[in-house]
Chains A and B, each alone.
Chain A
Amino acid sequence: MEKRNHKAWLYLLPAILFLGFFMVYPLIDVFIYSFEEGYNFASQTYFGTGTYNYSYVLRDPYFLQAIKNTFILVIITVPVSTGLALLISVALSSVKPLRNLYQTVYFLPYVTNTLAVGLVFMILFKKTAYTDGMINLILNWFGGSSVDFIDGPYWAKMLVLCVYTIWVVMPFKILILTSALASVNQTYYNAARVDGTSKLRIFTKITLPMISPMLFYLIITGFIGAFKAYSDAVALFGTNLNAAEMNTIVGYIYDMLYGDSGGYPSYASAAAIILFAIVLTITCINLLVSKKHVHY
């Protein structure tokens, strides 16, 4: 027994070493960093401990901008992408021929490099000296005037960011919702049809409650994912997000850590912990709300 005991730990050793070194230790360390004031990266010294890092970050206009951007992004993309994915999944489940083909196509964005395809989006939306870009061309067809979505007004940039974020997160949501819809027992629908239930009522009274756990799972992961948005913004607006007014909280953390304005791991840590607190709060609120509306 003693020998087996010994061996089991040997099997676990690599995992424990890696996790300890790259997950557990940093997790403790980040809290320590966030309270060390005036930390100097080169000499690895600091003046004292306190909450100065937090108050600095909370007063930093770049951070406030990042918070604003992130919240707008979350508030727009989570409901829109979840709703759209639900619509698409329902439509997908109602047809038979070509369903596999559509599913395959819809999943494509999942396996593409966010940075690479972001570049394509940038080109589609960008207005340059040579051309107004494809999207502006379509806008013009419908009588709109051209806007530079990449270097133009704030709302235009935010719109592109939302559009791209939605495009990127849709595959996962469609996949989860179509399999949730497929797992609803067909007899419920048969029973409802025999009872003369209208399609709308079947959807609201049977389908939605039945898939509500999965829908709720998507909303939670959607919130968490959107709060961590970063690479989509980099893909569209380049690495200097502060200049473009398009930085996100995660972007702010990385910029503080490394980059043109980098070298402040203490500020980065404080910002990361603030982000974590926000995400935790929102998730808890979600869980509370779900108790009332989700049928398990």
Chain B
Amino acid sequence: MKIVLQNLTKKFPSRNRKSHEDVVAVGDFTFEIPDGKLIGLLGPSGCGKSTTLNLICGLIKPTSGKIFFGDNDVTELPPENRGVGMVFQNYALYPHLTVKQNILFPLENLKGKDKLSKTEMESRALEAARLVQIDDLMERKPSELSGGQQQRVAIARALVKMPHVLLLDEPLSNLDARLRLQTREEIRKIQRKTKITTIFVTHDQEEAMSISDMIVVMKDGIVQQIGKPQEVYDNPVNLFVAKFLGTPPINAFDGKIENQTLYVGEDAVMDAKGVLDQEVAVGIRPEGFILQENGPLCCKLNRVEVMGRDISIVSTHGAFTGTAIRSIVDAEHSRHATGEYVHFALKPKKVLVFNKETQERIYINGNQHT
């Protein structure tokens, strides 16, 4: 089912007694989620992504704006009538019920014409359990399961009532690193199989990028950018999005544009045709560096870390805003990385320029937003 958010806004009364201004948890969110896609809501903690999820499932009511499921306005509809399945961050499995009873729970709530017979319920529960491969754990209590298994039970419980929409709140945050990789693939597979429109919330950009059809990057309740993961990564609209996506993170420098040339510190690194002279912030992706003996960007070499196929060069530069520049280059070029200084040439597509004040993107050299 297609989901449409229209100017969705949620304000909470301020807890600070001195200022009576409301806190905007979600501000003016407009987005059409196409049917059957997997959407990642991404942002640092407190950015309003969980609030958005709760607005969609109906646990909280928006201050203004509308939510449509398909063509139906569900803004005022209580959660039980929306037909959503939700997986909570701590799974919210009922500790006193077995896995099977937990999965059956939503089905037993159905009333009237939707009411199912006992055998129908059982077979639906088994089907859901099979989908997430926990059909051999049905008689256990949640406390007897590992974190990953609990996660699957929670997904099975959300899927068993065949929801129009599946919502996952930080579904992987309680799992260890190895399980996280495995489970996110699992979620992707299940979503592909069931074709349920799925929205999941995460603060981990890698997680979001790896499995989402589209990602929504949020900050302080405001949507920063919406798009396919690769597009957002390649063409962030502002410095926040650029910094938030990518591991290792983008390297941010102070720079300026003078005489149609981009400077990082005093190093003239690139042409910048048709852009007015101004102070700028320059972000360079780690993979945007090329080791070159006479390259324009001159950095002081700290160390070289060998990663196999690639090497990671750690260096510093006077105009760099963080502590150490990380660049990843082909191991073949490692012979250049000796001595006190290294020189880099830059891949123009990996150099992103932002307005110093607004932090908005400045597009140079036809490196256009698509």
Contacts and interface: CB of A to CB of B under 8 A. Distances in A.
Contact of B95 (A195, A196, A205, A295): A295
B96 A209 contact: yes
A188 B96 contact: no
Interface in A142-197: 185, 187-188, 190-197
Contact of A194 (B59, B90, B97, B111): B59
B80 A195 contact: yes
A198 interface: yes
A204 to B, nearest CB: 12
A193 B105 contact: no
Interface size class of A (residues with CB under 8 A): 10 to 19
Given A195-B80, A196-B110, A187 B90 contact: yes
Interface string B109-148: 1110000000000000000000000000000000000000
Contacts of A210: 95-96
A200 B351 CA distance: 60
A191 B86 contact: yes
A209 B157 CA distance: 19
A206 B57 contact: no
B81 interface: yes
B103 to A, nearest CB: 11
Interface in A200-252: 201, 205-206, 209-210
B85 A194 contact: yes
B164 interface: no
Given A190-B59, A210-B96, A197 B88 contact: no
B12 interface: no
Contact of B105 (A190, A197, A209): A197
B94 interface: yes
Given A193-B59, A194-B79, A185 B96 contact: no
A188 B102 CA distance: 12
B84 interface: yes
Contacts of A194: 57-59, 79-80, 82, 84-86
B161 interface: yes
B88 A195 contact: no
Given A187-B90, A188-B92, A188-B94, A196 B81 contact: yes
A185 B92 contact: yes
Interface of B: 57-59, 78-82, 84-86, 88-90, 92, 94-97, 105-106, 108-111, 157, 161
**Nearest 7 interchain pairs by C-beta:** A196-B80, A195-B106, A295-B96, A191-B92, A187-B92, A209-B96, A194-B86
24 contacts: A187-B90, A187-B92, A188-B94, A190-B59, A190-B86, A190-B88, A191-B86, A193-B59, A193-B78, A193-B80, A194-B59, A195-B80, A195-B109, A196-B80, A196-B81, A196-B110, A197-B109, A198-B109, A198-B111, A201-B108, A205-B97, A205-B105, A210-B96, A295-B95
